[in-house]
Structure 1
Amino acid sequence: MIAHHTLAKTIHGHVPWPQSLATGRSSGLFAVLAGTSIAIMTRRSTLERQSGRGRLEISIFVRALAIAAIGLVLEKLHDPGVGVILPYYGVLFMLGIPFLRLRARQLLAAALVADLVLPFVSALVRPHLPSTASVPLHDLTPFQLAVNLGLNGDFPALPWLGFLLAGMALGRVALDRPRTAWWLVATGSALAVAAATVSDLLLRIPSARTALLQSWPDARPGATWHDLAAALPAGFGGTTPTGSLWWLAVHAPHTATPFDLMQTTGCAVAVIGGCLLAARHRPRVWQVVFGAGAMSLTSYSLHLVLLRTDVWPDIGTTNFWSEAAVVLTVGAGFALLRWRGPLERIVSFLTGLASGFPHPQMSRIRSR
């Protein structure tokens, strides 16, 4: 996320490899991990100890509201030009509530359906909705805010539901087994490659290229397919243009198309599998070095504060390394002291207060 926000987006008209690696994949990974955290919290052993049905749903709902509220505050305070993902995360958590009690295979099936169907629903509905792309979230009416967070914004929650459901499916399997981790690496990589390959094959169809060029809103006079192909790796602002359904065939980042969603999910699954394998060796060292991940809500908020020009004015490669060092150092300090992040403590307090029981598993969920 830090790389995406601080490093150059394009160099001489081309997207440099750090941006190609980070753009879209960082936020998608966060969404998948959010689902995994929810699933770990809602495993059968936890459900059996609850005194009443519905409390778990209430706790997730309150957590979603708290995360969205923090996001709206940060969106108002931070410099414009950087999309704040937390309000969208809040809506995404709410959308996941009906799926809390499903098993892994059911969640995988639901994730696949969401990836294939919801982008089409979005493409068909968005032309009839008010455009809110250039309006700050805090200036929107309640209806416009709902439209933006659900369909029109930088991280549209409805098409992104597949990320959350895939993560929830991961949380239902035995993540402590090396075989599971290797399976995640293999299947995630295969899914990412397959999605990109099928997308590239579809975009070789002449009629598809013609339709995309004719409906490309940023096309200059005389633009060719080569121009559009060079622009696609930079992605879009969360959604694709709506002039043609062929846009759903691209796998460019931040487009929320079926191929973008499946490729990003595959990358996230492979990364999680790789991290599980790495963390089997010297886990305490990993826990400290990347302690920022255990307090990601606080770490992400710190990142947004550091992006303010009145706090850290020089955006660039130097800023990337400096900011990454600050975030990792703060996280390592909290991990060494075995402290929880301050925003994580606030959110857990509110969820425990609202649901009526501060369960140990509840305190371990990682807010994103």
Structure 2
Amino acid sequence: MKTQTSPRLEGLDLARCLALVGMVLVNFRLAMGVEHGKPTWLAHAFEALQGRSAALFVVLAGMGFAMGLRRLARSEAIALTLRRSIFLVTLGMLNFLVFPADIIHYYGVYFLVGVVLLPLGSRALLGCMAGIVVAFPLLSFFLDYNQGWNWTTLEYAGFWTLPGFLRHLLFNGFHPALPWVAFLLWGMFLARTALHNTRTQVAMVVGGAACAFLAHWLSAEAIALWPAYADLFGVSPMPPMPLYMLAGAGVATSIIGLCLVIVARWGQFAGLRLLLPAGRMTLTLYIAHIFIGMGVLEAMGWLTGQGLVQVAVAATTYCLLALTFACVWTKFFEHGPLEWLMRRLTR
């Protein structure tokens, strides 16, 4: 029997759905090997999504993680997190064999760090988050961020060796634990706020947008003054320097706040409610967009020689099919297939 979802949680479902759509667009573009193209507005839209959709995903994961463990005893929370981390790392590594930009296996590490820091107070949690963000550029002065990478082909040499795997996982992969786990910690912090409160929601929208704007402004000014240090002051996700982390967290916070406001005010509109089921089964739909979506693109010969318009068409088609599947599935089942499997194996 299904349980009634609260308006607050439905706002998070909407945010997860939007994050999924953004991830599909970004990943299809990466899989199809389209770096540049026209129309210009579409190219700018894809660039805006790069690294922001994934950051939104991780912040939401942090919120769900903290909420899910809120009523559990410490020992039970640790045991559950350990089992789920093993599940996600295993699933993610299987996914990595098909799509090297997988984010799922990183979650296993994020959650382990999160459960260790879960007992901390909010200020201490923010302090850890800030320390992690600052630690990355400091570490990059001593370690070579480019080690292992062929940036032309996006291939990573030595991944299947222990040093290469750990380096990719913790420092210079697509979503390295240092500093990406800070997004999870920020989500854990947000979960402690009064998310049902309209003032909190509006503050998230305005404050998040202001932080994102500040990060981009500071980046532009700093690069203009010190062009030799463009990487250090950049807002691109690779390398994930502090201003990117600020921009990513700001965009994520603003979108989550906006989704909470929208669902609180207009949550009963039929068109809006069609988006919510997909937000409850993002793990299933994320894996499906790689194994099924990209598999279909490969069979069609679309993984090479296409443009941005074809990427947008492919991603939009997949998202519409995914939304339809989610709406039908949730009429009969409370959890998505992989969500059910994870709960079954880890509970």
Q: Which of 18, 23, 27 is matched with 1:5 structurally? A: 27
Match of 1:96 in 2: 114
> What SS is found at the alignment partner of 1:9?
coil
- 8 A contact 1:63–1:347 mirrored in 2: yes
* Greater RCO structure (CA 8 Å; 6+ sep): 2
Is the deviation greater in 83-92 or in 122-131? 122-131
Which of 254, 267, 271 is residue 283 of structure 1 equivalent to?
A: 267
CA contact (8 A) 1:288 1:336 kept: no
Name the TM-score, length of structure 1 as normaliser.
0.76
1:77 aligns with 2:103: no
Partner of residue 67 from structure 2, selected from 1, 24, 40: 40
Alpha-carbon separation, structure 2, partners of 1:129 and 1:19: 24
Give the gaps of 5 or more residues in structure 2. Answer: 1-22, 303-309
Contact 2:98–2:290 under 8 Å retained in 1: no
Q: CA deviation at 1:339?
A: 2.8
- SS of the residue 1:337 aligns to: coil
Alignment of 1:126-205 (within 5 A): 126-127=143-144, 131=148, 140-205=160-225
Aligned partner of residue 264 in structure 2, secondary structure: coil
Report the TM-score, using the length of structure 2 for normalisation: 0.80
**Unmatched runs of 5 consecutive residues or more in structure 1:** 213-245, 353-368
Percent identity, aligned pairs only, is: 26
Q: Identify the range of structure 1 (264-273 vs 173-182) with the bigger mean alpha-carbon deviation.
A: 173-182
CA separation of 1:338/1:279 partners in 2, compared to 1, >3 Å: closer, same or farther?
farther
Distance in 2 between the 1:326 and 1:101 partners? Answer: 41
Change in CA separation of 1:20 and 1:294 when aligned onto 2, cut-off 3 Å: same
Residue of structure 1 equivalent to 2:345: 350
Partner deviation per Cα, 1:97-135 (whole Å, 9 max, x = no partner): 2211123333233222322x2222441343299526655
The reply to whether residue 272 of structure 1 matches residue 256 of structure 2 is: yes
> Cα–Cα, structure 1 residues 287 and 91, in superposed 2: closer, same or farther, change >3 Å?
farther
* Larger mean Cα displacement after TM superposition, 59-68 or 138-147: 138-147
d(CA) in 1 for partners of 2:217 and 2:343? 42
> Is 2:241 aligned against 1:257?
yes
> Among residues 100, 125, 140, which one is paired with 1:123 in the alignment?
140
Partner of 1:325: 320
Kindly provide the amino acid, as one letter, of the partner of residue 196 in structure 2.
D
* Secondary structure of 2:136 counterpart: helix
Cα distance change of structure 1 residues 296 and 146 upon mapping to structure 2, 3 Å threshold: same
Deviation digits for residues 22-72 of structure 1, max 9, x if unmatched?
Answer: 1110111011111111111233xx14xx3xx32201211221121111111
Decide whether the 8 Å contact of 2:183 with 2:249 is kept in 1. yes
- In the TM superposition, residue 288 of structure 1 has moved relative to its aligned partner by 3.8
